[in-house]
Amino acid sequence: MNPLKAYEPGKLPTPSGPVPTSGVVTLRVRYNECDPMGVTHHGAYVTWLEMGRVELLRSAGVSYAELEQAGVFLVVVKLELSYKRPARYDDQIEVRTVVQRATRVKIEHGYEVWRASPELGSELCVVASSTIACVDGQGRVTALPEWMSGTH
């Protein structure tokens, strides 16, 4: 048995169509994501980046819950954010997610978080990147499903 393939291939979900390499999620800054002055807390952006990754996967026709049920777990091993401008309560936000690179065991994403302002137009709030590794149920590194790794 290949130690980098601990999941059960027969149980592995497969995409319903082409696997996208980019996507956009639109949301509004919620009250609980802000400080008392209405400025978005830095930690909220991390959640939004995850939303971008999860929805990119979902647009391929696969949910993260299905991957977990098949024994495939994706963990953040590196995360970098560069804050450019603040987002504020009730702003409309666009999270743009791009797969920059995929290997046998990890995926690197790039992100831009934009704020739409009626007065100012669109403003870049955050530029970010993440590295996601694939692990099994015991936390050991394992191979990504082939359709996720770009090795097929």
In a domain, 2, yes or no: no
Q: What is the pLDDT of residues 52-83, one digit of tens each?
A: 999 999 999 999 999 999 999 999 999 999 99
- Asked whether 66 and 54 are in contact (CB, 8 A), the reply is no
In a domain, 11, yes or no: no
Question: Pick the catalytic residue: 35, 90, 91, 136?
Answer: 35
| Cα-based distances in Å from 41 to 12, 22, 38, 148 | 37, 26, 9, 32
In a domain, 14, yes or no: no
In a domain, 16, yes or no: no
Give the range of the structural domain holding residue 47, as residue numbers without chain letter.
23-149
In a domain, 5, yes or no: no
What secondary structure letter does DSSP report for 122?
Answer: E
Active site residue 35: yes
Per-residue pLDDT for 2 more than 60?
no
Tally the domains of the chain.
1
Q: Exposure pattern of 116-146 as b/e (b: 16+ CB <10 Å)?
A: eeeeeeeeebbebbbbbbbbbeeeebbbbbe
Q: What is the pLDDT of residues 81-132, one digit of tens each?
A: 999 999 999 999 999 999 999 999 999 999 999 998 777 789 999 999 999 9
As to burial, measured by CB atoms within 10 angstroms (0-12 exposed, 13-18 middle, 19+ buried), residue 113 is buried
- Asked whether 132 and 75 are in contact (CB, 8 A), the reply is yes
In a domain, 4, yes or no: no
CATH code assigned at 49 = 3.10.129.10
**pTM, to two decimals:** 0.89
Mean pLDDT of 31-38: 96
